[in-house]
Amino acid sequence: MFDTHVNLHGDVFADDLDEVLDRARTAGVRRFLAICDRFDNFESVCAIASAHEDIWCSVGVHPHHTKDFPDITVLDLTVAAARPEVVAIGETGLDFHYGYSPQDAQVESLRKHIEAARQTSLPLILHTREADDMMGDVLEDEFGKGAFQPLLHCYTGGARLAQRGLALGAYVSVSGILSFKSASAVRDVIADVPMDRIILETDCPFLAPMPMRGRRNEPAYLVHVAEALASLKGLAVDEVKRVTDENARRLFAKVDA
Q: What is the pLDDT of residue 10?
A: 81
Domain ranges of the chain: 2-256
Q: Where are the alpha helices (DSSP H) in 11-88?
A: 17-26, 42-51, 74-81
Residues 6+ apart with CB under 8 A from 189: 155, 157, 158, 159, 162
pTM score, whole prediction = 0.96
Q: What is the pLDDT of residue 11?
A: 85
Output the CA torsion sign for 141, 144, 149, 155. Answer: positive
Name the CATH superfamily for 2-256.
Metal-dependent hydrolases (3.20.20.140)
Q: What is the pLDDT of residue 150?
A: 98
Q: Which CA distances in Å does 92 have to 64, 125, 244?
A: 9, 6, 22
Q: What is the pLDDT of residue 257?
A: 80
**230 by DSSP, 3-state: which?**
helix
Q: What is the pLDDT of residue 236?
A: 98
Residues 6+ apart with CB under 8 A from 50: 85
Residues of the chain where predicted confidence (pLDDT) is lower than 70? none
Q: What is the pLDDT of residue 70?
A: 95
